Amino acid sequence: MDYTTFGRTGLRVSVAGLGCGGFSRLGLTAGASEDHAIGIVRGALDLGVNIVDTASVYGTEEVVGKALRDVPRDSVVICTKASKPAGDKHFSVEKILESLDASLKRLQVDHVDVFQLHAVPPDAYDYVRAEIAPALLREKEKGKFRFLGITETAPNDHEQEMLGRASQDGIWDTAMLAFHLMDQVARNQVFPHTMAHGVGTLTMFAVRSIFARPDQLSDTMKGLAAAGLVPAELAQRGNPLDFLVHEGGASNVTDAAYRYVRHEPGVDVVLFGTGSHEHMRTNIQSILKPPLPDADRARLATLFGHLRGVGLQLPPPRA
């Protein structure tokens, strides 16, 4: 495993981070047992992963807590999040603080390393900055968490307006954001600010479904070509990104997607989700490989650097 410094937090974290939400939720979405999910967390630790990201809304905090119960507390960086409750118009200070306390109970810890405000849209940021952040910083002083983070709502903020502001404010120690080989907005909108201000980054959507499901990638490319947003010849290929797979390049599209994100300047941790030990090992192997060839990266910038909002589908709501 490779490790890096997580922005101004000073934490040494693995470049591969276990995401406990997404489509898999440690395998729970597909009906895997709690013991299986615990085994996924333990397996990640065995492979050198030392940063785990969950959230109250994921429904995986209890599993993560059980998996880490006998693990030395200072050996794992635990990140969790509080969301605006469904149906509420605004983030509520009271409900966010209640969510923090409930997360600590479910995780069976007296503090988390990073507590994040989850999926903040641009039009809520002024209120969040003025009301929620000060209340959370008071909880930080009580020792409930070490660092304060914020995450974007990627499907609803294609220009990453919120993080473009938040990463310069000096309030947020970490930021979670979308970045992948067909959504490159963060290169200019976010990463220059996070690097300048020492904000640690957790990147999501590196693969998600679009680069793991050939049919979805093909359909997406056909739609983009029909709209004149990508060359028509990409829509006519069985695998539109097969130019990345060659000797000296990627072994497959998923491999390319992880390597593309991992070596982007400004990326600290690449989050991956999984419910399979074999899939986990493959993901980590890709994240630890060298960068894609310069020619491939340049071609990706030319083909897709102008795109917005591609491949940012959210998993279906949890029952």
Give the pLDDT confidence score for residue 153 in this predicted structure: 95
Above 90 in pLDDT, residue 306? yes
> Given a cut of 60, is residue 115 above it in pLDDT?
yes
Per-residue CA distances from 124 to 80, 117, 130, 171, 175 (Å): 20, 12, 10, 16, 16
Evaluate if residue 160 carries a pLDDT over 80.
yes
Asked whether the predicted pLDDT for residue 149 surpasses 70, the reply is yes
How large a percentage of the chain has pLDDT more than 90?
A: 92
User: What's the chain's average pLDDT?
Assistant: 95
Query: For residue 14, which amino acid is it?
Result: S
Q: Is the pLDDT of residue 87 over 80?
A: no
Compute the half-sphere exposure of residue 76: CA atoms within 13 Å on the CB side of its CA.
28
For the stretch 231-246, pLDDT in tens is 999 999 889 999 999 9
Q: Where do the domains of the chain lie?
A: 3-304
Would the pLDDT of 77 be above 70? yes
Residue 293 pLDDT grade (very low, low, confident, very high; cuts 50, 70, 90): very high
The residue type at 244: L
Q: Please give the pLDDT value at position 209.
A: 83
Confidence class for position 318, pLDDT limits 50, 70, 90? low
Predicted pLDDT at 314:
76
Residue 91 pLDDT class (50, 70, 90 cuts): confident
- How far CA 132 is from CA of 88, 105, 118, 147, in Å, comes to 15, 21, 12, 15
Question: Does residue 317 register a pLDDT over 70?
Answer: no
Q: Where does the pLDDT of residue 75 fall: very low under 50, low under 70, confident under 90, or very high at 90 and above?
A: very high
Choose between 208 and 34: higher pLDDT: 34
Q: Is the pLDDT of residue 119 over 90?
A: yes
Cα separation, 172 vs 197, in Å, equals: 10
pLDDT at 319: 55
Query: What's the average model confidence in pLDDT over 235-259?
Result: 95
Query: From the CB of residue 15, how many other CB atoms can be counted at a distance below 10 Å?
Result: 20
What's the predicted TM-score (pTM) here? 0.94
Q: Specify the CATH class of 3-304 in words.
A: alpha beta
The per-residue pLDDT for 295 is 97
pLDDT of residue 316: 65
DSSP string, 67-136: HHTTS-GGGSEEEEEE-PPTT-SS--HHHHHHHHHHHHHHHT-S-EEEEEEEEE-GGGHHHIIIIIHHHH
Range of lowest pLDDT (89-93, 271-275, 314-318): 314-318
Rounded mean pLDDT of 258-277? 97
